[in-house]
Structure 1
């Protein structure tokens, strides 16, 4: 059956999803739902598969999305936790639409539930450069994304609320294209600025020193077609750290901007640690940004900053369809 081939692909991709999982559910078994536009799956649309998950769900649900271009807006409601949405590869599993306006209404994909996992998907808002157009909104706690491509122009990724992890993702935009007040770790991600003039990669929204939020970019790569700032403070206590990250000449020498409010220079926390490339030179950085020591940066360099060791989970090894349980071992044998 074709399903066995799909499960083998998942196992080969397991390097993207690892670490200890939450004890709230049995993380080795998941209910499998297949989405296929050809009519060979359980549903032809992704939202229909999500709608089929019961409210207050307490089991892992693995929604397998067959390759194709899905022209729909998607919402994972707050009362539907423990969903994984997975394609085979971001290049051939595309969720696309175009919308603009309010940043909470325009997203093509909105994750409001906790314990969500997104894998190998392209999520794009094709509205263009004339307004706010969010591709992905993440407002649930304990959300992880592996090998995803997320693209728009302004406010591409509304990394809104909760603790989040992004691994090996591609994120593209121009203006404040990673924004919000989540506590997030971006690890080995490719950040691409398409701004032709002065863009801004981050607009982190931390409002109080008591909030344990902020963005860390660890071992990432930045590219750009014009010039861009590393960030500017949406919130008074905005917090962003770049560590061990490649920075091209597209990064402006000053690095950061106070968004026209000098009072934020004393409250924003913008740190850099052992970055490299022509844009990493700190000689002309704004004086209120920080060159972090190894001791200062250490809390930002592990998944402990998002409590990830307690909730990041591996790919399930057993899948249920109706009353049947399919077991797949690491060597591919059933």
Structure 2
């Protein structure tokens, strides 16, 4: 087969993410952009609530109206949960640099998160979500167990297990994600587009720990047009699940990425089952001459197939622009 043009992959992604088709509930995206309820959170007391959780709690159960919760600048020290029965919430600040939801907890990936999202059709924009515990234990900043969720221009920071991308179909755009060990983990089907991935590991900590358990699962982490930087050295991923799937496309990798690229977590049996791919990545850390032989340098067609055959991509008709 003749080689495909270099513009093929971006074209596939643009078509697959067309903004103007109907979402899973049959509504046009332009309709979804129109919120019906506005709630303001302001620590000064001039809004509807002074805490983020109180604002979420005020949304009725089995919500059907898009609800915009506007968070005024400030440091909100609280653990926040968006329960499953409160879909269609947009949680937004105006600038992630001055609007932060923060907590300091550790020990368990399911109870330590600063923000836990269980509701479907959730959106977060222009927020910092952090867990300040530091190194030494599991300390999740953001847990996403939503069927559908979107994050735009958010800063998500911790050290170990920063983002528990647990399950569902998720989209991260222009986000900054920082950690040291397995800091993007879980078994969701997620696209990371134009995100900055920053490792603070001081010794080959893994960026991803994707947990795909069966070959028929349409899950995986897909990074396109991203940047990978760090302070010392890291690997791109290691297998939490035996069929772990992670792909980097058109992404910049600084020299922080270890030349061998990927880690098997001491499980050589996974060499034949994991799917770790790279395509048209660039920068000093993208050189594949010393990559582990069980990772893949994808062709144009292989990369396009990965993006188009998964449920993760076909479900993206519900994505909206911020």
TM-score higher than 0.5: yes
Corresponding residue SS for 2:36: strand
Q: Using the TM superposition, name which of 146-155 and 26-35 deviates more.
A: 26-35
Corresponding residue SS for 1:91: coil
CA distance in 1, matches of 2:298, 2:106: 38
Residues 155-184 of structure 1: per-residue CA shift (max 9 Å, x gap) = 000000000000000000000000000000
CA distance in 1, matches of 2:254, 2:67: 40
Residue of structure 1 equivalent to 2:314:
307
* Uncovered stretches (5+) of structure 1, i.e. residues with no partner: 1-16, 316-334
Q: Is the contact made by 1:233 and 1:268 (CA closer than 8 Å) also made in structure 2?
A: yes
Q: Is the contact made by 1:218 and 1:301 (CA closer than 8 Å) also made in structure 2?
A: no
**Deviation of 1:210 (Å):** 0.7
Q: Is the contact made by 1:18 and 1:314 (CA closer than 8 Å) also made in structure 2?
A: no
- Give yes or no for the alignment of 1:231 onto 2:231: no
Corresponding residue SS for 1:59: coil
CA distance in 2, matches of 1:304, 1:132: 30
Please report the RMSD computed on the Cα atoms of aligned residues, expressed in angstroms: 1.6
CA distance in 2, matches of 1:268, 1:247: 21
Q: Is the contact made by 2:212 and 2:241 (CA closer than 8 Å) also made in structure 1?
A: yes
Of 247, 263, 269, the residue aligned with 2:275 is: 269
Q: Is the contact made by 1:216 and 1:300 (CA closer than 8 Å) also made in structure 2?
A: no
Residue of structure 1 equivalent to 2:5:
none
Q: Segments of 4+ in structure 1 off by > 4 A?
A: 300-304
Q: Using the TM superposition, name which of 25-34 and 146-155 deviates more.
A: 25-34
The alignment's TM-score, normalised by the length of structure 2, stands at 0.90
**Deviation of 1:309 (Å):** 3.9
CA distance in 1, matches of 2:184, 2:235: 12
Residue of structure 2 equivalent to 1:220:
226
Q: Is the contact made by 2:218 and 2:311 (CA closer than 8 Å) also made in structure 1?
A: no
Corresponding residue SS for 1:299: helix
Residue of structure 1 equivalent to 2:148:
142
Residues 290-325 of structure 1: per-residue CA shift (max 9 Å, x gap) = 00000000134579743354211245xxxxxxxxxx
Residue of structure 1 equivalent to 2:250:
244
**Deviation of 1:29 (Å):** 3.4
Task: Tell me the matched-pair count.
Answer: 299
* Uncovered stretches (5+) of structure 2, i.e. residues with no partner: 1-16
The alignment's TM-score, normalised by the length of structure 1, stands at 0.87
Greater relative contact order structure (CA < 8 Å, 6+ sep): 1
**Deviation of 1:98 (Å):** 0.3
Corresponding residue SS for 1:212: coil
CA distance in 2, matches of 1:225, 1:29: 41
